[in-house]
Structure 1
């Protein structure tokens, strides 16, 4: 019986999501020959975490479902033992990258990858706390249904379990590395207010995540389709395609990985939205089979990122995303050119090759990002009000932001170089330290 990890990283109150996650785990255990480890990585303050503990307590028991609810102290204890066991010369630096003192979308999922290895799980299935499942005729539409039908299977074996196949013949012997869908509902990036206030400014700002050399028309087209997910049409019937999955068609709130997450981590960039999407691009570029299905999750935004400090913090994370693309576009282009050369003879990703491309990107000049910051400054001041306040904040941090965008890639290269020993160490490390031994 295979064991899977269904994970929910959270830094906000989400007892309803925990209840829904428990129901998805029970569905998986009831319909498939699997054991489910539900992993809740909780970075919330104690009062909120106590509510989550109560939500976990209320989950119906199932003989093949086990829930692990870990606060940051327990995560840190585990990671400290893993980084020490890995043999790295810089265990404290690795610990800081994996569990930083601020928000990191990539690092929280990297922690899930390592804990899944410790729990003996062969796949990781990620959900988000600011989303919920669709319902059709009173029945909840769980993405794990498609994930467990195909993930980890050879593509040729998965083909009869999907609606259609659109896969190069060269990939038929490889295992399905990713099964994913998208979302419906609100924009994945919380910019609806900007779009409503000034559509032209919205197009200009969102277009900044495109490569700088693109034409104005291509940037406008990108802005028009960005962050929309699968639109707003609700689920009516299943459809799944075995294919090389287009990264623009899936979202990290609704995704599962097999194998690839044990070779390469996600970027541990701090305070940068979108930093957890790297593996989606890697799977596509390397020619690894995936399944794109339509059990989309409903996305919504909580209020804390729209007022006061939360607004300023979120806008800063968005701008850091724009700056990160200077480097990621370089890596994505190189990965696309390398194609199947990113894989070894057994169809596994060559982590060293990926790390080298990431490190190469740190040598790029900063002129393109200087232009991005200039464009953001003009746009935010045109919007005025609290956007102008954000512009002042960004101007004061200008040089630091430019440095951080480059340094984040250096950190990513370092973590990628250390990743396989970390995964191996995690697989040999108990989640909880043995009694009588210090964590």
Structure 2
């Protein structure tokens, strides 16, 4: 039986989401005959974790559905054993990169990748705590329909599972590496209030993540497409396109990845940095691996804590760090795009050493552009006034530290790529019965 991992990382209350994702897991078992490991990686407070545990325990029993609800203690114990078994030097540093004290979108998904390897899963499918499903004809619209119909299959054999095939025949013998859709509802990055307050400032704030030297036209296009997902049009009928994946219309709340991708290269483990979990989108596309882009879009919404008080400050800081991370990620993206199919070996497997070398070269990029980004962000937030001006005051004394952290993050990414192969092999050698259920 084929094993797959449907994972929900969370650090906030989402008992209802656990219930709905559990329904998607049951659908996958019944529709495709797979064994689904529903993996809830829980970093919430104890009271919230208890509600999550109750929601997980209340899921209807389904043969072929195994629920794993792991708090951070359980995750840490698993990682400690894997890191020790791997023999990789610097175990304390690796444990910190895999399970940091701060929020890390990349690290939580990397943990899911290693646990999936331990469980013998062929693919990982990620959903988010602030997600819901669309409904059509009285039934939920589950993205896993397209993910399991295509992932891992040779592209030539997956044609019958899509509605449109625009893939260059040169890639037909490669496996489908990624399948995903987008979202409807609120912006994927919680800056919609800025757009409502001042569209000019919104343009300037979003354009800050453009590559160094981007033209004004390129920035306008970037701003127009960034964070908007699929807009608001409801699902009416399936559309699934086989091609190189359309990474601008695939989001991490709605994605499935073949094991031959995430077992070769991890995600950047940067802390307090939104967007740090999107690296594999670029890598799969640039390496000319086939993907399926579908329209079973997730419904996105935001919880109120991101818009007031400490939650607002924390989220805006994550956005600032996202902007700074681009100084180092854009050069890597440029190199992977130029390399194209050379990123793959003869078996169509990603070559991780190429990515690690690129990340190390990027780490010495001159910081002038990041100084400019911080100065421009300060100007924009002070123009908005109110809580945004207060955040500018919060950000100003932290500039030097943030600049250092952005560089350290790309260096840590290279280090983790080097260690990733041994970590994956060690995960596969870790007994599955050590994982809580």
Q: How far has the Cα of 1:246 moved from its partner? A: 2.2
Q: Which structure 1 segments of 5+ residues have no match?
A: none
- 1:17-61 CA-partner distances (Å, limit 9, x unpaired): 000111001100101021100000000011000000110111000
Q: Deviations over 1:103-150 (max 9, x none)?
A: 000000000000001111110000000010000121010000011100
Retained in 2: the 8 A contact 1:78–1:432?
A: no
The 5-angstrom pairing of residues 23-34 of structure 1 reads 23-34=23-34
Q: CA deviation at 1:431?
A: 4.7
Query: Who is 1:98 aligned against?
Result: 98
Q: In structure 2, what is the equivalent of residue 339 of structure 1? A: 340
Q: Deviations over 1:138-169 (max 9, x none)?
A: 10100000111000000000011111111122
CA distance in 2: counterparts of 1:221 and 1:282, whole angstroms: 22
Query: How far apart in 1 are the matches of 2:20 and 2:110?
Result: 23
Equivalent residue for 2:326? 325
Partner residue of 1:77?
77
- The CA deviation string for residues 383-425 of structure 1, in whole angstroms up to 9 with x for no partner, is 1111111111111001111111110000000001110110110
1:256-290: CA deviations, max 9, x gaps? 00010000000000000000000000000000000
Q: CA separation of 1:434/1:388 partners in 2, compared to 1, >3 Å: closer, same or farther? A: closer
How far apart in 2 are the matches of 1:40 and 1:142? Answer: 18
- Are 1:379 and 2:380 an aligned pair? yes
Partner of 1:168: 168
Q: Distance in 1 between matches of 2:283 and 2:376?
A: 30
Is residue 38–residue 68 contact of structure 2 (8 Å, CA) maintained in 1?
Answer: yes
Hey, what's the Cα distance between the residues in 2 that align with 1:36 and 1:434?
15
* Alpha carbons 1:78, 1:431 under 8 Å: kept: no
TM-score by length of 2: 0.98
- 1:164-243 mapped onto 2 (5 Å cutoff): 164-243=164-243
Runs of 4+ off more than 6 Å? none
Per-residue displacement from partner, 1:220-244 (whole Å, max 9, x unpaired)? 2211211000110010000100010
Q: Are 1:154 and 1:174, in contact at CA under 8 Å, matched by a contact in 2?
A: yes
* Rounded Cα–Cα distance in structure 2 between residues aligned with 1:351 and 1:163: 33
- The answer to whether the 8 Å contact 1:204/1:220 transfers is no
- What is the CA–CA distance in structure 1 between the aligned matches of 2:31 and 2:350, rounded to whole Å? 31
SS, match of residue 334 in structure 2? helix
Deviation at 1:249, TM superposition (A): 1.1
Match of 1:426 in 2: 427
Deviation at 1:378, TM superposition (A): 0.5
- Residue by residue over 1:73-104, the C-alpha shift from the partner in whole angstroms, topping out at 9 and shown as x without a partner, is 00000000001111101111110000000100
User: Residues 432, 404 of structure 1: CA spacing in aligned structure 2 closer, same or farther, 3 A cutoff?
Assistant: farther
Counterpart residue number, 2:413: 412
Q: Which residue in the other structure is 2:289 paired with? A: 288
Secondary structure, aligned partner of 1:368? helix
Distance 1:247 1:327 in 2: 19
What are the residue-to-residue correspondences of 1:292-303 with 2, within 5 Å? 292-303=293-304
Q: CA deviation at 1:217?
A: 2.4
Q: Secondary structure at the match of 1:209?
A: coil
Whether the 8 Å contact between 2:321 and 2:402 is mirrored in structure 1 is yes
Q: How many residues align structurally?
A: 435
CA distance in 2, matches of 1:8, 1:431: 19
Q: Match of 1:360?
A: 361
How far off its partner does 1:365 sit?
Answer: 0.6
Aligned residue number for residue 122 of structure 1: 122
1:343, 1:434 → 2: CA distance? 33
State whether residues 68 and 435 of structure 2, in contact with CA within 8 Å, keep that contact through their aligned partners in structure 1.
no
The change in CA–CA distance for 1:25 and 1:434 in structure 2 (over 3 A counts) is closer
Provide closer, same or farther for how the CA distance between residues 47 and 375 of structure 1 changes in structure 2, counting only shifts above 3 A. Answer: same
Distance in structure 2 (CA, Å) of the matches to 1:116 and 1:345:
25
Matches within 5 A, 1:113-152: 113-152=113-152
| Distance of 1:347 and 1:107 partners within structure 2 | 25
Counterparts of 1:198 and 1:112 in 2: how far apart (Å)? Answer: 39
SS in 1 for 2:256: strand
- Deviation of 1:330 after TM superposition, in Å, equals 0.4
Report if aligned partners of 2:235, 2:297 keep a CA contact under 8 Å in 1. Answer: yes
The CA distance in 1 between the partners of 2:93 and 2:168, in whole Å, is 41
Q: What is the alpha-carbon root mean square deviation over aligned residues?
A: 1.1
